Amino acid sequence: MNVLDFGYLAAALALSPIWARKGRQGWRERLGHAPVLAERREADRPRVLLHAVSVGEVSALVTLVPKLLPRAEVIVATTTDTGTARAKKLFGDVCPIVRYPLDFSWSVKRFLDAVRPDVVGLVELEVWPNFVKACEARGVAVAVINGRLSAKSFGGYTKLKPILGATFKRLSKVGAQDETYAKRFAAMGVSPQRLSVTGSMKWDSALSALNELIAQGGEESLSLAHGRAGAALVKGAAELAADLGIDPNRPLIVAGSTAEGEEKLISDSCPTGVQLLCAPRKPERFDRAAADMPMCVRRSQKRGGTGASVKRATGTSRAHTDRFLLDTLGELRQAYALADLVVIGRSFVKLGASDPLEPAGLGKAVIVGPHYANFQTIVDELKANQAISVVHPGQLRTKIEELMRNRSACAAMAANARTCIRTHAGASDRHAEMLLGLVRDGRAFGG
């Protein structure tokens, strides 16, 4: 044990009641008991370990993993239950999915003995001292890809620089999403020679989704003038609409990854006759979100059912409704495909927003609130190109009414977003070359 281990133990004891309430799974693996993968090594290909904490980070890998697989073995490590489920859905058929270990020195040792990577790519941040130091001792390169160090995280990390500074110096490479993040990584101790601006892989994910739809239905299929863009081209979207009883003849707004208070705000902001589907970010909030949307239809009650008679959150039945709750996991893409307009959750409260590019890549017009620090550069680029609408809570109803009246404005916004996506794609190629280059160079760590 080292000093950090004692600190982690104290924190674990303090947080254990919270973890118990959230019902986290996979604790044995989190303690380093990963499946032993060493015997699966292919001698002619390096082994790349990609660590993505949760759903957003996992989804960002959707274009990187295919670029690595022809040249490397890939293992995806996740932290959260939802991230693990998403990783298995996206990559379970092509690469092993494991749980990233807690940063106890013994957990890290167990994990690395089992997985034995040649190079590690940490998605966005997740720079843990014991893990990085253990990799250094084994000569394993550790890079941050799609690097993002938010103002809030940077403030906390700066206070801990006496402890974390050495860890950041040990990083072999950092590919930051933008110049602001790059400067913060440099301030934490990453040398300029190891630091570059590589852009965000979320642009690539959006382009991949966009190209998939165009391949099936042509560019014209994404025009909002022709109805709900891409709805017929996304597998499972029609089934979702039918199960919930969504009226195809009335507008539908989808609010994705919502947080506390946003369901009520967005519901109250919807004009009469407009349908709303909310998809809360966290499963533990499903019941609370239902309470904030009286008489809503819950997806958990309608999976595999029919839309003829819908059961509401209150238990009553009626043939028509205009409020829906996606209280299951793995169907947000299908929900976005059904939307006439998308509102980005976690942006009307101070949580930094959720990904606006996922719906934009499906040809949707997008509204985001004032709090989008997690996607600052992306939203700024979209805004500069008139590809997104940024509004405060008090302006939301007016903006929704305006866009519902003016469908050509929605179509123009979506078209501008597609242009922006195509312009900024390419980070996945840069990150793939960065990781494989570290293996080729045999360069893990320096002074």
CA dist 327 and 51 (Å) reads 27
CA dist 141 and 173 (Å) reads 8
Q: pLDDT digit of tens for each residue in the chain (447 aa)?
A: 787 866 767 666 666 565 555 555 677 887 888 887 766 566 678 999 999 999 989 999 999 999 999 999 999 999 999 899 999 999 999 999 999 999 999 999 999 999 999 999 999 999 999 999 999 999 999 999 999 999 989 999 999 999 999 999 999 999 999 999 999 999 999 999 999 999 999 999 999 999 988 888 777 777 654 456 667 889 999 999 999 999 999 999 999 999 999 999 999 999 999 999 999 999 999 999 999 999 999 999 876 554 444 445 544 444 468 999 999 988 999 999 999 999 999 999 999 999 999 999 998 999 999 999 999 999 999 999 999 999 999 999 999 999 999 989 999 999 999 999 999 999 999 999 999 999 988 744 433
CA dist 79 and 86 (Å) reads 11
Copy the structure tokens of residue 218: 């042509």
Predicted confidence at residue 41, as pLDDT, reads 62
Predicted confidence at residue 19, as pLDDT, reads 52
Q: Quick check: do 25-199+427-441 and 217-424 share a fold? A: yes
Instruction: Name the DSSP class of 143.
Output: E
CA dist 56 and 248 (Å) reads 29
- For the domain made up of 217-424, the CATH class stated in words is alpha beta
The listed CATH number (3.40.50.300, 3.40.50.11720, 2.60.40.10, 1.10.510.10) that belongs to domain 25-199+427-441: 3.40.50.11720
CA dist 306 and 242 (Å) reads 6
Domain ranges of the chain: 25-199+427-441, 217-424
The reported pTM is 0.87
The candidate with the shortest Cα–Cα distance to 78, out of 134, 95, 181, is: 95
3-state DSSP helix/strand/coil percent for the chain, to nearest 5?
50, 15, 35
Bridge partner list, 122: 51, 144
Q: Quick one: 428 exposed, middle or buried, by C-beta within 10 A (0-12, 13-18, 19+)? A: buried
211 contacts 361 by C-beta, under 8 angstroms: no
* Count of C-beta atoms within a 10 Å radius of residue 246: 20
109 contacts 42 by C-beta, under 8 angstroms: no
Predicted confidence at residue 43, as pLDDT, reads 65
Helix axes 3-22, 105-115, angle to 10 degrees: 80
370 contacts 395 by C-beta, under 8 angstroms: no
3-state secondary structure of 92: coil
Interacting residues of 312 by C-beta distance below 8 A, sequence separation 6+:
295, 296, 297, 298, 318, 321
3-state secondary structure of 80: coil
Predicted confidence at residue 223, as pLDDT, reads 67
Copy the structure tokens of residue 441: 């160079």
130 contacts 108 by C-beta, under 8 angstroms: yes
384 contacts 330 by C-beta, under 8 angstroms: no
- Pairing type for strands 310-311 and 317-318 reads antiparallel
In the chain the first and final C-alpha atoms are separated, in Å, by 25
Helix axes 407-424, 376-384, angle to 10 degrees: 120
CA dist 177 and 433 (Å) reads 16
Helix axes 407-424, 396-405, angle to 10 degrees: 100
Residue 311's φ and ψ, nearest 5 degrees, are: -95, 125
